[in-house]
Amino acid sequence: MCLLKAYLEENNMRRIIASEVLFIYAEDWGFRLKTMDRKEEVTLKNVMISRIDALNSTITFRVVKR
Protein backbone atom coordinates (compact mmCIF):
# COMPACT_ATOMS: atom_id res chain seq x y z
CA MET A 1 0.00 0.00 0.00
CA CYS A 2 1.23 3.47 -0.85
CA LEU A 3 -0.17 6.42 1.11
CA LEU A 4 0.02 9.77 -0.65
CA LYS A 5 0.53 13.33 0.48
CA ALA A 6 -1.74 15.71 -1.44
CA TYR A 7 -0.80 19.29 -2.29
CA LEU A 8 -2.76 22.17 -3.82
CA GLU A 9 -1.08 24.71 -6.12
CA GLU A 10 -2.66 28.14 -6.30
CA ASN A 11 -1.12 31.51 -7.19
CA ASN A 12 2.35 29.92 -7.58
CA MET A 13 2.21 28.59 -4.01
CA ARG A 14 1.90 24.99 -2.89
CA ARG A 15 0.37 23.82 0.40
CA ILE A 16 -0.35 20.41 1.82
CA ILE A 17 -4.05 19.62 2.04
CA ALA A 18 -4.00 15.98 3.17
CA SER A 19 -1.57 13.33 4.28
CA GLU A 20 -1.94 9.58 4.32
CA VAL A 21 -4.42 9.60 1.42
CA LEU A 22 -5.84 6.12 0.80
CA PHE A 23 -8.25 6.73 -2.10
CA ILE A 24 -8.91 9.43 -4.69
CA TYR A 25 -12.36 9.61 -6.28
CA ALA A 26 -12.92 11.62 -9.46
CA GLU A 27 -16.21 13.53 -9.55
CA ASP A 28 -17.76 15.72 -12.26
CA TRP A 29 -16.82 18.82 -10.27
CA GLY A 30 -13.46 17.75 -8.83
CA PHE A 31 -12.05 15.10 -6.50
CA ARG A 32 -12.66 13.52 -3.10
CA LEU A 33 -9.70 12.31 -1.05
CA LYS A 34 -10.19 9.65 1.61
CA THR A 35 -7.54 9.93 4.33
CA MET A 36 -6.39 7.37 6.84
CA ASP A 37 -5.17 9.76 9.53
CA ARG A 38 -8.45 11.61 10.08
CA LYS A 39 -10.92 9.09 8.69
CA GLU A 40 -12.51 11.89 6.71
CA GLU A 41 -12.85 12.99 3.12
CA VAL A 42 -11.28 16.12 1.69
CA THR A 43 -13.35 17.65 -1.12
CA LEU A 44 -11.65 19.61 -3.91
CA LYS A 45 -13.66 21.58 -6.47
CA ASN A 46 -12.50 23.20 -9.69
CA VAL A 47 -9.11 21.48 -9.67
CA MET A 48 -7.12 19.21 -11.95
CA ILE A 49 -4.23 16.88 -11.28
CA SER A 50 -1.02 18.63 -12.26
CA ARG A 51 1.57 16.11 -11.04
CA ILE A 52 1.81 12.60 -9.63
CA ASP A 53 5.17 11.70 -8.11
CA ALA A 54 5.24 7.95 -7.40
CA LEU A 55 8.81 8.00 -6.09
CA ASN A 56 7.98 10.55 -3.35
CA SER A 57 4.35 9.40 -2.93
CA THR A 58 2.80 12.81 -3.68
CA ILE A 59 0.00 14.14 -5.82
CA THR A 60 -0.43 17.81 -6.67
CA PHE A 61 -3.69 19.45 -7.71
CA ARG A 62 -3.92 22.81 -9.46
CA VAL A 63 -6.84 25.20 -9.24
CA VAL A 64 -8.64 25.65 -12.57
CA LYS A 65 -9.80 29.21 -13.13
CA ARG A 66 -13.15 29.49 -14.81
pTM for the model: 0.87
Per-residue pLDDT tens listing for the chain (66 residues): 679 999 999 998 999 999 899 999 998 889 999 988 767 789 999 999 999 999 999 999 999 986
Alpha-carbon distances of 62 from 1, 12, 39, 51, 56, rounded to whole Å = 25, 10, 24, 9, 18
SS3 assignment, position 63: strand
